[in-house]
């Protein structure tokens, strides 16, 4: 299975959470992965043009990738209490087959460990954290949630440079 980086990241986060991840959480994890990469390397992991839309980071390619995974029975959705979670099927690749470097896997695991969990407090903390990132602060201050506007992930890199005095 030849996967794009976006698809590999989706598989990684679904596998690492053992299928206890909602779509909202997954989108935020993907955003945080791209943001962390830009923050420290000035380069995104994916080629997504992140948009501020409906109060958060979004890109329709995530929906398309998930739809493809559902159609090909790589992932499935299940109801768990009030949540709809995304779960791996037996067709879902193992993490070890994704070809990630140890450094990348460690960064992704940190995101997953920090923000995974289906309780409402954990999800609220994740949303608060995402909404306090520099790209989201700027977008929220200048645009309405109904607008679809590009998020400038490099603002986070600039913020770090400023904080470090470089």
Please list the pLDDT of the chain residue by residue as tens digits (166 residues). Answer: 799 999 999 999 999 999 999 999 999 999 999 999 999 899 999 999 999 998 899 999 999 999 999 999 999 999 998 899 999 999 999 999 999 999 999 999 999 999 999 999 999 999 999 999 999 999 999 999 889 999 999 998 888 888 888 7
Question: Of 124, 130, 91, 129, which is closest to residue 7 (Cα–Cα)?
Answer: 91
Task: For the chain, give the longest Cα–Cα distance.
Answer: 49
pTM of this structure: 0.95
Extract the runs of DSSP E, i.e. beta strands, from the chain: 51-53, 56-58, 75-80, 83-88, 149-150
């Amino acid at each position: 299975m030849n996967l794009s980086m976006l698809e590999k990241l989706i598989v990684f986060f679904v596998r690492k959470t053992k299928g206890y991840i909602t779509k909202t959480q997954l989108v935020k994890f993907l955003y945080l992965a791209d943001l962390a990469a830009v923050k420290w390397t000035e380069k995104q992991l994916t080629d997504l043009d992140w948009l501020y839309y409906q109060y958060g980071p979004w890109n329709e390619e995530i929906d398309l990738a998930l739809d493809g995974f559902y159609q090909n029975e790589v992932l499935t959705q299940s109801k768990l209490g009030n949540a709809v979670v995304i779960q791996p099927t037996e067709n879902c690749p193992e993490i070890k087959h994704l070809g990630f470097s140890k450094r990348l896997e460690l960064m992704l695991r940190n995101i997953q460990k920090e923000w995974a969990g289906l309780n409402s407090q954990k999800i609220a903390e994740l949303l608060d954290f995402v909404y306090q990132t520099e790209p989201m602060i700027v977008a929220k201050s200048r645009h309405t949630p109904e607008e679809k506007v590009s998020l400038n992930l490099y603002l986070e890199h600039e913020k770090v440079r400023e904080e470090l005095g470089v």
